Every structure is written in C-alpha cells, then in structure tokens.
Chain A
Amino acid sequence: QQQVRQSPQSLTVWEGETAILNCSYENSAFDYFPWYQQFPGEGPALLISILSVSDKKEDGRFTIFFNKREKKLSLHIADSQPGDSATYFCAASLGAQGLTFGLGTRVSVFP
C-alpha cells in the first residue's frame, strides 16, 4: 500500500498560470512534509516544506496548503515559468524516521 500518493501523474500549464499539485497520505502520525524538485539527471532538491502544525507555508511563488483532517496537501506554483518544468515529489516523515516519497508529478510549463 502506497503511503504517499500524488496526483496528477503529469501536468501541463502555460507560462504565467498556477500549477496545482496534489498529495495525500495514509499515516496520520506523519508530521513533516517536504516537497522536492528534480530535473533529469539530477538529485531531488528541497523546494519547500511544512510541519503538520501549520496549514499554509509560502516561499516566493511556491505555496503549500495543508489539511490535516483530510490528510491532504497541495503545492501551488504561481506564475509558472518554463524553468519550473521538472518532476515534483511530495514526501512525509514521522519524527526521526526516513522520508516516504510519492511517485511524483511531472510538470511541463509551455511559453
């Protein structure tokens, strides 16, 4: 059973639009949720993260919305740029345990 699920698998947006990436999780004890961005041939890079005590985290064009009751979160990429084209991974962890990743959402931003 997959602990962290992401949707959609792939997403295409036009430059300037807001991309919305969804994530849900099974374990209600997860308390830390980072999002990673990965370009082909590179390792994942931390983009933004949120703790379960918060319901929103903003960093520039990137915003996480978190709903603890529904065990869902989403990443909004505002004013999408072609350079944002990458695969985005939602992850979760409980305390000091390793991260559990979703399968990722591939985002393509067209000019």
Chain B
Amino acid sequence: DPKIIQKPKYLVAVTGSEKILICEQYLGHNAMYWYRQSAKKPLEFMFSYSYQKLMDNQTASSRFQPQSSKKNHLDLQITALKPDDSATYFCASSQVRDSDYTFGSGTRLLVI
C-alpha cells in the first residue's frame, strides 16, 4: 500500500486556471514538504510544514499556496497557472523536520 498518496497522478490544465494537488501521508510523520521536478532542472524545494505550521517557503510566487487541513494532509493550490508551471510535483514527509524523507510518486502537471 502506498504510504504517501498523491492525487491526481496526471493533470492537464489550461493557462490561467487554478488546480489543487492532493497529498496524504499514512506514516505518522509530523513534517511534510513539497518539491518540484522540471525537465533539466534539479528537484527544487518549495515548502516545509511541521505540525501543520509553515516552516520554510522557498517559492517566490504567491500563486503557490500550501494548505494543511489535517496533520497528515498537505495540499498545494496553484492559481493563475502558466506553461512554465508544467512539472512533476512531489510531496514528501519525515518523522521530524528534515530527517530522512519519504517521497510520494508525484503529480505530473501539464499546463497548455
């Protein structure tokens, strides 16, 4: 059974629209993260949450907003989508902040 569930697996969106990427972890971890993987770029750290509080935000754009409704949930809302936002978005979690991570299988977003 997958320990980190990301939904949807694939997502096609129109430029200017808004989408929410879902992440749920069933590892009992207290810290959760979002990373982005684009073609020809390294995996890029976006956000970290610890006990449902935002700890670190490395995303320059306010179009990316994490949302944590429950301890084991960390969704990512993206507004005013642009083609450059096309990437695979990975959710991850760890027992405590910045100990060893477990990654989900990602949401592949294509903005047309």
Q: B-contacting residues of A (Cβ < 8 Å)?
A: 2, 4, 32, 34, 36, 41-46, 49, 89, 91, 93, 95-104
Could you say which of A4, A34, A89, A97 contacts B100, with CB atoms under 8 Å apart? Answer: A34
Contact of B48 with A43 in the complex, beta carbons under 8 Å: no
A44 and B90 within 8 A (CB): yes
Number of A-B contacts (CB under 8 A): 60
Q: Do residues B55 and A42 form an inter-chain contact, with CB atoms below 8 A?
A: no
Known: A41-B105, A98-B48. 16 other contacts (CB 8 A): A42-B105, A43-B106, A45-B103, A91-B43, A96-B55, A96-B97, A96-B98, A97-B98, A98-B35, A98-B46, A99-B101, A100-B42, A101-B42, A103-B41, A103-B42, A104-B42
Task: Judge whether A43 and B42 touch: CB under 8 Å.
Answer: no
Give residues in B with beta carbon < 8 Å to A.
Answer: 4, 33, 35, 40-46, 48, 55-56, 58, 90, 92, 97-98, 100-106
Selected from B42, B46, B55, B100, the residue in CB contact (under 8 A) with A2 is: B42
B40 to chain A, nearest CB (A): 8
Quick one: which of B44, B45, B55, B103 contacts A44, CB cutoff 8 A?
B103
Closest to A90 in B: B42
